[in-house]
Amino acid sequence: MRSAPREAIGTIRSTHPFLIEALLPDHMHALWTLPLGDEDFSHRRRVIKRRVTQRCQTRLNRPEWMNGRRKKRNLSTLWQHRIREHLIRDEADFNRHIDYIHWNPVKHGYVAQVSHWPYSSFHRYVKQGWLPASSGSNVESLNGAHFGE
């Protein structure tokens, strides 16, 4: 199952570059840095969703998972109905969101430490010297921060 989103992301990234930050079992968090003059993040998201849906719909779009709203509107169970978007305001806002994205696998109980989640840009940030390897081990700094959830 994990190969479907990775393939979809790789396909669209080859023609419409961006950076993606964390892929979790049931959702993804992305902080996209697009090329100068290219603000078409919607196209990237549509292509990812379409490709993943084509590969996974029969396994993940389950009638028993349908709630009343999804049934009434004929919505899939594969994708969250609303996408939360946020325009980064400044460097501090950027850093808060990077921390939150890297911390998200810990928040959802998939791992005990940020460094234990393999599907995250955290490892790239550490390798490039942008973050210390111990970063993300103290999540108290994220308590009370608002991330649009």
The C-alpha R_g of the chain, in whole angstroms, comes to 16
State yes or no: is 110 an active-site residue. Answer: no
How far apart, in whole angstroms, are the C-alpha atoms of residue 93 and residue 64?
Answer: 39
Active-site hit among 100, 110, 119, 125: 119
Of 24, 1, 38, 36, the C-alpha closest to 12 is: 38
Distances (CA, A) of 70 to 54, 75, 144: 19, 5, 31
Of 86, 82, 123, the C-alpha closest to 102 is: 123
**What residues are labeled active site?**
119
